[in-house]
Amino acid sequence: MDANLIELAGVVLTSTLASNGIITLAVKRRWKKDDAKDEVKKQLAELVKTIEAQKGIDHKIAEQIEDIQRYNVEAAKEREIVKETLRLLSYDMLSNKLMFHISRGYATKLERDSLSLYIKNYKLNHWNGDMNALLERFNALPFEEEEERD
């Protein structure tokens, strides 16, 4: 009986060890799953923080974009005012120069060359053509040298 008892004790011991191993394995797997879940929760929490921070950054960027757009609109308005002022000044200067030469009765080649830049800009600005009569009168003036008149 001793052999049977020893065999029974061996079977009991083996099955106890085996069941302990299985239980240990199951507990370790469970802990690993819990650890993995905890790690996922930590990563998720960090991701949520990052997203919240990004929302704040996105909001600041959106505000800066709006400020830039407002600035661009205002700058465009100011550029248009400056351009319109320059157009008016060049128009006034051209008409005054044309009237001067018409009243004088002649224009030199140098004066015509100088005025040709103003005339070119006048045409580029697509004005309504009210200066065309002055341009015709100016173009009809005789070519004379300054020295001949003095």
Residue type, 76: A
- Per-residue pLDDT, averaged over 36-50, amounts to 81
Domain that holds residue 138: 2-149
Tell me: the pLDDT tens digits for 93-141?
888 999 999 999 999 999 999 898 888 888 887 776 778 888 899 999 9
Q: Mapping DSSP to helix (H, G, I), strand (E, B) and coil, where does residue 106 land?
A: coil
Does 95 or 28 have the greater pLDDT score? 95
> What's the mean pLDDT when you consider all of the chain?
81
Helix (H/G/I), strand (E/B), else coil: 142: coil
The whole-number pLDDT of residue 31 equals 74
Give the count of beta carbons closer than 10 Å to the beta carbon of residue 46: 10
The pLDDT value recorded for residue 104 is 93
Listed residue (92, 99, 102, 108) closest to 147, CA to CA: 108
Q: What DSSP string runs through 35-84?
A: HHHHHHHHHHHHHHHHHHHHHHHHHHHHHHHHHHHHHHHHHHHHHHHHHH
CB-CB contact of 89 with 120 (8 Å): no
Q: Indicate the residue type of 62.
A: A
pLDDT band at 148 (very low <50, low <70, confident <90, very high): low
pLDDT (0 to 100) of residue 147: 57
Count how many domains the chain has.
1
* 10, 12, 15, 21 alpha-carbon torsion, rounded to 10°: -90
